[in-house]
């Protein structure tokens, strides 16, 4: 298990970042970067749906009691991790489709987004943007009850808008 608690080493994680393989880290690190930037206590670990199903169930079953308020779950290919977590917990699950070698993540996207009615997974874009946006979404959820965090999120948006205003194109 890898934990990252920027707020304080003793802080209990409020967001869990899980992924099906260490090969997903290249994508999922973009979620962790955002959580770190916003000072959200979090943890990151590999929980493979197919290779360690018992740990997947245990993680989901313990999530609420451990204080997790969101789980960001990334997986590729037959990406069952987010859906199976959602089946076992009411903690909101944010799914990130990781790009796969043969089908470029369209398989991952379809696996995650096509949940049956009654067991939702909030599904984000394939790849790095999806991982970052899942984390930003978790920040927005937490900011509903945290004024300081809301101000940070608003400042992030303001800076992003300023950066877009400052964009230039090569001479035509
Ligand atoms: C999925 O299979 C993982 O989420 C990963 O995206 C994909 C490939 O895993 P590795 O073979 O790289 O471990 O379970």
CB count within 10 Å of CB 4 equals: 16
Answer yes or no: is 162 within a domain: no
Q: Which atom of ligand 1 is nearest to the CA of 75?
A: 4
The Cα 10–Cα 74 span in angstroms is 26
Please determine, for residue 3, whether its predicted confidence score (pLDDT) is greater than 80. Answer: no
Mode of pairing for the β-strands spanning 42-46 and 2-4: antiparallel
Q: Distance (Å, rounded) from C-alpha 41 to C-alpha 26?
A: 20
Do you know the residue count of the chain?
A: 172
pLDDT > 70 fraction of the chain, expressed in percent and rounded: 94
What is the residue with the minimal CA distance to atom 13 of ligand 1?
A: 21
pLDDT score of 137: 98
Tokens of 74: 């990334």
- Let me know if residue 42 belongs to a domain: yes
Does residue 72 form part of some domain?
Answer: yes
Q: CB-side exposure of 117: number of CA atoms within 13 Å?
A: 0
Put simply, whether the predicted model's pTM sits higher than 0.90 gets the answer: yes
Q: Is the pLDDT of residue 156 over 70?
A: yes
Considering the domain boundaries, does residue 164 fall inside one? no
Whether residue 101 lies inside any domain: the answer is: yes
Tokens 């800076």 correspond to what residue? 159
Q: Which mutation among 77, 99, 103 tests ligand 1's pocket best, with the greatest number of atoms within 8 A of CB?
A: 77
The DSSP code sequence of 81-93 is HHHHHHHH--S-E
Ligand 1 pocket (Cβ < 6 Å) reads 20-21, 23-24, 48, 75-77, 98
Specify the residue with its C-alpha closest to ligand 1, atom 9. Answer: 21
Supply the mean pLDDT for the chain: 95
**How far is residue 4's CA from residue 32's CA, in Å, rounded to a whole number?**
8
The alpha carbon of 48 is separated from its chain's Cα centroid by a whole number of angstroms, namely: 15
Cite the annotated binding site by residue number.
21, 24, 51
Task: Give the chain's domain count.
Answer: 1
What's the gap in Å between 113 CA and the centre of ligand 1?
Answer: 18
Range of the domain at 130: 2-145
131: CATH: 3.40.50.1970
pLDDT in tens, 18-34: 999 999 999 999 999 99
Assess if residue 161 is contained within a domain.
no
100-112 average pLDDT score? 97
Q: What confidence tens digit (pLDDT) does each residue in 68-96 have?
A: 999 999 999 999 999 999 999 999 999 99
């Amino acid at each position: 298990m890898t934990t990252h608690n920027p707020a304080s080493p003793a802080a209990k994680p409020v967001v869990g970042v899980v992924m099906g393989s260490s090969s997903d880290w290249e994508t999922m690190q973009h979620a962790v970067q955002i959580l770190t930037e916003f000072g959200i206590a979090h943890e990151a670990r590999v929980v493979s749906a197919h290779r360690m199903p018992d740990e997947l169930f245990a993680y989901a079953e313990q999530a609420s009691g451990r204080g997790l308020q969101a789980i960001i779950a990334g997986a590729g290919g037959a990406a069952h991790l987010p859906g199976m977590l959602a089946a076992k917990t009411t903690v909101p699950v944010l799914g990130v489709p990781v790009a796969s070698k043969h089908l470029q993540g369209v398989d991952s996207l379809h696996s995650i987004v096509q949940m049956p009615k009654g067991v939702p997974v909030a599904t984000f874009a394939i790849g790095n943007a999806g991982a970052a946006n899942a984390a930003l979404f978790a920040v927005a959820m937490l900011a509903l009850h945290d004024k300081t965090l809301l101000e940070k999120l608003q400042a992030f948006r303001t800076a992003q808008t300023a950066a877009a205003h400052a964009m230039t194109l090569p001479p035509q």
